[in-house]
């Protein structure tokens, strides 16, 4: 059985305790991950703190060069990292390879983003600049759905802006990130990037640690609130990218056969385990049944199974707790009298497998509509009025993303602009880029990631006011 190590101060570090990592396709422990103690965390934070002054003062071009070298090593290790990712997360091998390759590409793109000093005023007697300075040690806490890619969303911006990092992956999927720490530790100066793994207790230690200046967290809303509360004791900067219950609105003038494919893909990517996936589908009553039929056709063409199996499109739900939640929401919808077009029952085979599930004739107020399932199940809700459906889409505590689908681009754009969400799309959904800001409003988070706006989240602003002569 494979045993992994922490990466602290450029060294691989074993721990007194370990915990098992479960393969969601088999429900069996296949590897042991290090369970970091408080002393291990203190060592990682001290290493990051000690490394910070020299890393902050390293020329930007040199930092960019080292991030590029990290991306090169990720690509060199793509087969190994992808295999680990399939086993611990459950996604298909093709999707794991896409995540690992995308991680390298995202890292290079992030390294190239500019965050220049702004000249606010200049005259013969005075020059005023707005500078962006590194904060210090960043605590990065990442989720289990895209463990490597979402780690880079934090590590890349933190490092390129001159911060040092203590990175904690989810205890459900720690191995790919631990392996990442192992392969890049010889590229960066000792202490610049430290990777520690453990349970929820470790996350609390990180958020309350007095020598960490910022927390960047991606995960559930309830945990995000705990992070915010804990970080408040030392007034840490925080970025929170939390859950979503994204609506997609399909107007009457949309063509079902044309929109069904992209809608289906954005609802069920990674088995629906995507923060910004389509999770509520509002369809105009005039085309409701037609679009339902088209979605059923798409479902019949897709296969759920073990990630290494040829021809499989979607893997299992990643963990037992999430699997049970999806099952519970399906039963709740059934009790509400909803019509299941496909799926709805977990498979009898071993593993956390739940079929692609489409649920029609369901209303706002149902748990499946109002709550975030984070799994392969999609409620499809009728509507008849554009203004009414926008109000219904906004009647939620979530505010991550949303989309409008229509042949009338102008009308769809106007409707999308009224969605209460951090991102809104027209005739597409969850179209992201390293150069575009992404974040939520309401209980979907605060702050943004990516682009110069995301880099700025890892800095403090300083007004430098110079009197000349």
**Helix axes 78-89 and 60-76, enclosed angle (nearest 10):** 70
State residue 469's pLDDT score: 78
**437's tokens:** 């800001």
Average of pLDDT values for 198-220? Answer: 96
d(CA 125, CA 132): 23
Same domain, 316 and 177: no
Please give the tally of structural domains in the chain: 2
d(CA 149, CA 355): 25
Which listed residue (77, 88, 208, 275) is catalytic?
275
Average of pLDDT values for 20-38? Answer: 97
Average of pLDDT values for 110-126? Answer: 95
**220's tokens:** 């559930």
- Extract long-range pairs of 324-330: CB within 8 Å, 24+ residues apart: 325/373, 325/374, 325/375, 326/354, 326/373, 326/374, 326/375, 326/376, 326/377, 327/354, 329/367, 329/368, 329/371, 329/373, 329/375, 329/377, 330/357, 330/359, 330/368, 330/377
Counting every residue, how long is the chain? 469
Which residues are within 8 A (CB) of 349 and not within 5 positions of it... i.e. 6 or more apart?
Answer: none
Same domain, 255 and 190: no
* Spatial contact of 429 and 278, defined as CB atoms under 8 Å apart: yes
Same domain, 268 and 218: no
Same domain, 69 and 95: yes
Same domain, 272 and 404: yes
Which listed residue (241, 306, 449, 457) is catalytic?
241
- Encode pLDDT of 348-368 as tens digits: 889 999 999 999 999 999 999
State residue 235's pLDDT score: 95
Percent of the chain with pLDDT over 70: 100
Average of pLDDT values for 138-149? Answer: 98
Q: Find how far residue 175's CA is from the centre of its chain.
A: 17
The closest alpha carbon to 248, from 274, 266, 225, 273, belongs to: 266
Which residues are within 8 A (CB) of 232 and not within 5 positions of it... i.e. 6 or more apart?
Answer: none
Write the DSSP string, 57-94.
TS-HHHHHHHHHHHHHHHHHTHHHHHHHHHHHH---HH
- Tell me the pLDDT band of 148, cut-offs 50, 70 and 90: very high
Q: Tell me, what CATH number does 421's domain have?
A: 3.40.309.10
Write the DSSP string, 251-286.
-TTS-HHHHHHHHHHHHHGGGG--TTSEEEEEEETT
* Spatial contact of 333 and 325, defined as CB atoms under 8 Å apart: no
Average of pLDDT values for 115-122? Answer: 94
433-466 burial, b at 16+ Cβ within 10 Å, e below that, comes to: ebeebbbbebbbbbbbbbbebbbbbbbeeeeeee
Residue 221: pLDDT over 90 = yes
State residue 444's pLDDT score: 97
| Domain that residue 355 falls in | 246-434
State residue 330's pLDDT score: 98
How high does pLDDT run on average in the chain? 97
- Encode pLDDT of 243-255 as tens digits: 999 999 999 999 9
Q: Tell me, what CATH number does 83's domain have?
A: 3.40.605.10
- Tell me the pLDDT band of 3, cut-offs 50, 70 and 90: confident
Same domain, 253 and 369: yes
State residue 206's pLDDT score: 98
- Encode pLDDT of 284-304 as tens digits: 999 999 999 999 999 999 999
d(CA 122, CA 129): 9
- Tell me the pLDDT band of 1, cut-offs 50, 70 and 90: low
Same domain, 18 and 106: yes
d(CA 292, CA 3): 47
Place of tokens 């992201």: 432
The closest alpha carbon to 88, from 251, 349, 372, 307, belongs to: 307
- Confirm whether 241 is a catalytic residue: yes
Same domain, 328 and 231: no
Same domain, 331 and 414: yes
- Tell me the pLDDT band of 58, cut-offs 50, 70 and 90: very high
**What is the sign, positive or negative, of the torsion defined by CA atoms of 20, 199, 305, 99?**
negative
Same domain, 237 and 250: no
- Confirm whether 83 is a catalytic residue: no
Percent of the chain with pLDDT over 90: 98
Neighbours of 14 (CB within 10 A): 11
Same domain, 211 and 259: no
Q: What is the largest CA-CA distance in the chain?
A: 81
Same domain, 192 and 59: yes
**434's tokens:** 């390293």
């Amino acid at each position: 059985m494979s045993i992994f190590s922490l990466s602290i101060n450029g060294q691989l570090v074993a721990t007194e305790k370990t915990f098992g990592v479960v393969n969601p396709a088999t429900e069996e422990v296949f590897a042991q991950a290090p369970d970091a103690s408080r002393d291990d965390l203190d060592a990682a934070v001290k290493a990051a703190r000690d490394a910070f002054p020299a890393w902050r003062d390293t020329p930007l071009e040199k930092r960019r060069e080292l991030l590029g070298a990290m991306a090169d090593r990720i690509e060199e290790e793509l087969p190994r990292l992808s295999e680990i990712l399939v086993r611990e997360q459950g996604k298909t091998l093709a999707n794991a390879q896409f995540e690992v390759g995308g991680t390298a590409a995202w890292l290079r793109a992030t390294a190239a983003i500019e965050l220049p000093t702004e000249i606010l005023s200049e005259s013969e007697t005075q020059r005023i600049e707005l500078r962006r300075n590194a904060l210090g040690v960043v605590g990065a806490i990442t989720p289990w759905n895209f463990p490597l890619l979402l780690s880079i969303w934090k590590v890349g911006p933190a490092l390129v802006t001159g911060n040092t990092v203590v990175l904690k992956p989810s205890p459900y999927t720690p191995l790919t990130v631990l392996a990442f720490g192992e392969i890049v530790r010889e590229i960066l100066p000792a202490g610049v990037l430290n990777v520690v793994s453990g349970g929820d207790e470790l996350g609390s230690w990180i958020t309350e640690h007095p020598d960490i200046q910022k927390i960047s967290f991606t995960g559930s809303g309830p945990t995000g609130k705990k992070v915010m509360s804990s970080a408040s004791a030392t007034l840490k900067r925080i970025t929170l990218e939390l859950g979503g219950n994204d609506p997609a609105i399909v107007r009457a003038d949309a063509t079902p056969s044309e929109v069904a494919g992209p809608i289906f893909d954005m609802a069920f990517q990674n088995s629906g385990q995507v923060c910004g996936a389509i999770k509520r589908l509002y369809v105009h009553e005039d085309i409701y049944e037609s679009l339902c039929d088209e979605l059923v056709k798409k479902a019949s063409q897709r296969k759920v199974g073990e990630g290494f199996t040829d021809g499989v499109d979607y893997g299992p739900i990643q963990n037992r707790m999430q699997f049970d939640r999806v099952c519970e929401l399906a039963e709740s919808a059934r009790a509400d009298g909803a019509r299941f077009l496909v799926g709805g029952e977990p498979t009898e085979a071993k593993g956390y497998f739940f079929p692609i599930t489409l649920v029609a004739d369901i209303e706002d107020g149902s748990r499946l509509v109002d709550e975030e399932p984070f799994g392969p199940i999609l409620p499809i809700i009728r509507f008849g009025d554009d203004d009414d459906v926008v109000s219904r889409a906004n009647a939620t505590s979530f505010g991550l993303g949303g989309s409008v689908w229509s042949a009338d681009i102008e009308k769809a754009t106007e409707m999308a602009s009224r969605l209460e969400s951090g991102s809104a799309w027209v005739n597409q959904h969850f179209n992201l880029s390293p150069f575009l800001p992404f974040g939520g409003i309401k209980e979907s988070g605060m702050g943004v990631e990516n682009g110069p706006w995301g880099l700025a989240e890892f800095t403090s602003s300083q007004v430098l006011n110079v009197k000349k002569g």
